[in-house]
Chains A and B, each alone.
Chain A
Amino acid sequence: MNSQDLRIAIVGGGRVGLRTARTLDNRGHTVIVIERDPVRSDQIADEYVATVIEGDATKPSVLKQVGLEKTDVLAALSADLGTNLATCLTAERYGSPIRTVMRRTEEEDDEYADLVDETVFPERAGARSAVNAVDPGTRALEDMIGDLEILVMEVTENAPVAGRTLTDIGLPRGSLVVSSADGDRIADAETELEPGHSYVVATEPDVEDEIVRLFRG
């Protein structure tokens, strides 16, 4: 846990897994994807967002090839609950402290809350996008922003921007600090980026890693 970028292993390079890998790579993290299907595995390698391990992640000999001992987070995002649970438990067993995130297949299901650190239900976001398309007058936020990422970022203690005002810092073109600390006001030139507080930042994908590095150290 001594590096500033996370090392993240993603089980399952399907739509959810790959999309997650892309987003995390954009933020400058190191991503390793385990994918069983050889064709899909080549497709992911083509995108050059992650190192790809081709094989069945439920086999410890395959899972260990992501380098579990230095991996910070394991995200089991395949469509199969059994695979996800098995890989999370294997990772807990072999990884020195590792955070596990598991994709669950039932919407309301806290059955596994004690076994893994976090569960996600990606279908909810998918359904929201569908609702937005069906009823465009009232759109939920996630779906109306095209390629832009709207991030809520907490400034860390050692971040380059910590304790500085917006006039003081130079942000890359394609990024914008929207709100001041904890979202009560619109940011202006005098807004100070205080460590421990969160800010809403809009960023184009090209510069996302730089923004994350400026805010998170």
Chain B
Amino acid sequence: MSEAGSRQPEAELGLLDATMIGMGAMIGAGIFVLTGLAAEIAGPAAILVFALNGVVTAFTGLSYAELAASIPKSGGGYAFVREIFDDLSSFIMGWMLWFAYMIAGALYALGFAPNFLELLHVYGVVGPPEAVGAVALPVVDAAVPAAFLLAFVAVFLLAALNAVSTAASGSAETVFTIIKVGILAVFVVFGFASPMFSGAEFQPLFSEGSGAAAILPAMGLTFIAFEGYDLITTVTEEVKNPRENIPKAIFVSLIATVIVYLAVVAVAVGTLGAGGLAEAGEAGIATAATSFMPTGLPIIQNGGALIVFGAVFSTLTALNAVVIASSRVAFSMGREGQLLPTFGQLHHRYGTPFIAIVTSAVVMLGSVALPTQSAGNMSSLFFLLSFVIVNVAVIRLRRERPNMNRPYEMPFYPAPPILGIVLNLLLTGVLVEYLIRTDPLALGLSIGWILVGGVAYVVLNRVRSRSETETETETDSDVPAVTED
């Protein structure tokens, strides 16, 4: 008997699937976890925060569309930057993007935990959050580990699942995203209809004290809510008719996501008020829902439970998406020889990028010890920086590869990438300034990660040059045979 293969190959993704991968990664992250935090910083202007971020990110979206349509590689922004930049710059890009995804994973896990506790509470498994909150102060040590433990377990299980199986991909994501958007639609409809919303209080739009300036740091913090198009470009090679579908998927997912965000944030601020939303933190949307959704329904009892379930479900699926995305970036870097070659190898039994997944998971597991806001800050910071580089890559490719066939050419070039660079840098600057004032831990860890990257780069180059001199003599047999005639 010869060994026949038994694992399922990956399925092809249509426009809907690709769009849903992008939306799935965005929705669930920003909206459920960060709305409360955005409201805390910017007040009712949280709505503006999400709208303006949508505009800023659209410029980078154009760049991604142009690059993804002409360069058929699945590695996200890293693959495009690798195409035109030298070793060091592309390494830095990959290193930052990898980190951005890993920290995003921690962020989603941290968003998952309180929402899961809320879900348990709705069904009376654990005490009400008020009671927990009241007791929590004296016994902080006991309260914190519960959420921390949950976040830890969530990352561990999803990483383990992805490490041993390639099944959890494309088409499941479509179903997941439709469920998420459906639940949010229910939230929006009931919210607009609720008596709480008719007395909605959006004035003063800007929180007192900081005023309109508070929008910028809030934009920086919630920027991660728009990172989804990078995720689309990590799966481009599995997409059908990619030259049309990838730009479309990027734009459709971006526009749809912005619309969903605006409706949801408007309802949340309108019903709960910016203050109440801020208080609820990571469970902001869920808390708002419990306040106005009908109760006494069959089976689920409390209508709010549906939204809480949506939050739990969204954060988990988004977590799954970034577990995959982070490992793909590390895998691409390994294959390009920019991380140890083992990162670029498939597991002999599971066919997954095993080392890349395990390493990413370890960093994520360590990062769930971070405060939610720090995780959001760091992840947004690294996405902003990565997107700056992607925009530069578009400009460099236009200049140095004028003859490259570009199935999708962005309109009004060079305005979009330049605006993308300027606005992303502006937000980066504001975010860094905000971190210096409020979150030196996040800033320190971010700088630390870059420094570790620098050391890793030097060490890897040493290792490689040594192994290259060793194999110099046998390189001739190293090239796969080209079949003659």
Q: Which residues of A contact B (CB under 8 A)?
A: 1-6, 25, 27, 30, 41-42, 44-46, 48-55, 62, 65, 67, 72-73, 75, 99, 101, 118, 120-122, 124-125, 152-153, 158-161, 164, 166-178, 186-189, 191, 204, 206-207, 210, 213-214, 216-217
Q: Is the CB of A121 within 8 A of B485?
A: yes
Known contacts A170-B348, A174-B5: A48-B242 contact under CB 8 Å: yes
Interface presence of B469 (CB below 8 A):
no
Q: Which residues of A contact B400 (CB under 8 A)?
A: 65
Which B70-101 residues sit within 8 Å CB-CB of chain A? 70-73, 83-84
Q: Is there an interface contact between A169 and B348, defined as CB atoms closer than 8 Å?
A: yes
**How far in angstroms is the closest Cβ of chain B from A104?**
10
- Partner among B6, B9, B336 whose Cβ is within 8 Å of the Cβ of A170: B6
What CA separation (Å) do A1 and B468 show in the bound complex? 9
Residue of B237, B346, B479 touching A214 (CB-CB under 8 A): B346
- A-B residue pairs in contact (CB < 8 Å), sample of 14: A3-B335, A3-B337, A4-B337, A4-B344, A53-B405, A67-B83, A75-B482, A120-B485, A160-B345, A168-B348, A169-B349, A171-B351, A173-B5, A173-B6
- Give complex CA distance A214, B354 in Å: 12
**Chain A hits for B9, CB < 8 A:** 172-174, 204, 206-207, 210
Say how far A153's CB is from chain B's closest CB, in angstroms: 8
Are B72 and A161 interface neighbours, CB within 8 A? Answer: no
Besides A174-B5, A174-B9, 12 more A-B contacts (Cβ < 8 Å) are: A2-B464, A46-B243, A48-B236, A65-B400, A120-B482, A158-B341, A158-B345, A171-B5, A172-B7, A176-B3, A188-B2, A216-B480
B484 at the interface (CB under 8 A from A): yes
In the bound complex, CA of A159 to CA of B72 (Å): 25
Shortest Cβ gap from A211 to chain B (Å): 9
> In the complex, what distance in Å separates the CA atom of A101 from the CA atom of B407?
28
Q: Of B341, B401, B402, B403, which contacts A4 at CB under 8 A? A: B341
Tell me which of B3, B73, B407 contacts A30 (CB under 8 A).
Answer: B73
Asked if B1 CB lies within 8 Å of chain A CBs, one says: yes
Check if B336 sits within 8 Å of A160, measured CB to CB. no
Interface size on B, residues (CB 8 A): 50
B471, chain A: closest CB distance, angstroms: 9
Whether B404 is near chain A, meaning CB under 8 Å from some CB there, is yes
Asked if B4 lies at the interface with its beta carbon under 8 angstroms from chain A, I say yes
Cβ of B404 and Cβ of A160 under 8 Å apart?
no
A contact residues around B203 at 8 Å (CB): none
Q: Are A207 and B346 also in contact (CB < 8 A) when A25-B72, A51-B72, A120-B484 are? A: no
B413 within 8 A of A: no
Q: Known: A168-B348, A170-B349. Is A122-B485 also a contact (CB below 8 A)?
A: yes
Instruction: Indicate which residue in B237, B475, B480 contacts A1 across the interface (CB closer than 8 Å).
Output: B475
B473 within 8 A of A: no
- Identify the closest chain A residue to B334 (Cβ): A4
- The answer to whether A73 touches B479 (Cβ under 8 A) is yes
Given the complex of chains A and B, what is the CA–CA distance between A191 and B241 in angstroms?
40
CB distance from A139 to the nearest CB of B (A): 16
Kindly list chain A residues whose C-beta atoms are within 8 Å of the C-beta of B123.
none
A120's closest neighbor in chain B, by CB? B484
Q: From residue 427 to 472 of chain B, which have CB atoms closer than 8 A to chain A?
A: 464, 468
A160 proximity list for chain B (CB < 8 A): 345-348
- Given A65-B401, A188-B2, do A170 and B242 touch, yes or no (CB 8 Å)? no
Asked if residues A118 and B482 are in contact (CB atoms below 8 Å), the reply is yes
* Residues B125-159 near A (CB distance < 8 A): none
Q: Which residue of B lies closest to A179 (CB)?
A: B2
Most chain A beta carbons < 10 A, residue from B1, B5, B9: B5
Give which listed residue, A45, A54, A125, A159, contacts B243 with CB less than 8 A: A45
Question: Which residues of chain A are within 8 angstroms of B242 by Cβ–Cβ distance?
Answer: 48
Complex: how many Å from CA A1 to CA B405? 26
Main secondary structure of the interface of B (DSSP, over half): loop
- Min Cβ gap A27→B in Å is 8
Nearest-neighbor residue (CB-CB) of A166 within chain B: B3
Q: B3 and A42: CB pair below 8 A?
A: no
Which residues of B lie under 8 Å from residue A27 when comparing CB positions? 480
B239 closest partner in A (C-beta): A48
* Smallest CB gap from B240: residue in A: A48
Q: In the bound complex, how far is the Cα of B236 from the Cα of A158, in angstroms?
A: 28
> Which chain B residue shows the least CB distance to A206?
B9
Q: Which chain B residues numbered 329 to 387 have a C-beta less than 8 Å away from chain A?
A: 334-337, 341, 344-351
Q: Are B335 and A51 in contact (CB under 8 A)?
A: no
The answer to whether A189 and B348 touch across the interface, beta carbons within 8 angstroms, is no
**Chain B: which residue is nearest A126 at the CB level?**
B485
Name A210's contact: one of B236, B346, B468 (CB within 8 Å): B346
Measured in the bound complex, the distance between the Cα atoms of B344 and A159 in whole Å is 11
Q: Which residue of A lies closest to B236 (CB)?
A: A48
Q: Mark B12-53, 1 if CB is under 8 A from A, else 0.
A: 000000000000000000000000000000000000000000
Q: Which B residues touch A45, using CB under 8 A?
A: 70, 243, 405, 407
Residue of B nearest to A161 (CB): B348
Q: CB-nearest residue of chain A relative to B461?
A: A2
Residues of A close to B464: CB separation below 8 A: 2
**A169 partner residues in chain B, CB cutoff 8 A:** 3, 348-349
CB distance from A165 to the nearest CB of B (A): 9
Which of chain B's residues has its CB closest to A52's CB?
B405
CB neighbours (8 Å) of B481 from chain A are 152
Q: Is there contact, CB below 8 Å, between B243 and A48?
A: yes
List, in ascending order, chain A residues with CB within 8 A of B347's CB.
Answer: 160
B345 touches A213 (CB 8 A): yes
In contact, A172 and B8 (Cβ under 8 angstroms): yes
Residues of A within 8 A of B351 (CB): 170-172, 210, 214
A49, A52, A124, A204 — most chain B CB neighbours (10 Å): A52
CA distance A1 to B475 in the complex (A): 10
B417 shortest CB reach to chain A, Å: 19
From residue B34, how far is it (CB to closest CB) to chain A in Å? Answer: 35
In chain B between 210 and 242, which residues have their CB closer than 8 angstroms to a CB of chain A?
236-237, 241-242
Contact B407 A46 (CB under 8 A): yes
- Say whether A173 contacts B243, CB under 8 Å: no
Given A3-B337, A46-B243, A214-B351, A176:B4 Cβ within 8 A: yes
Contacts of B484 in A (CB 8 A): 118, 120-121
A158, B350: Cα distance in complex, Å: 17
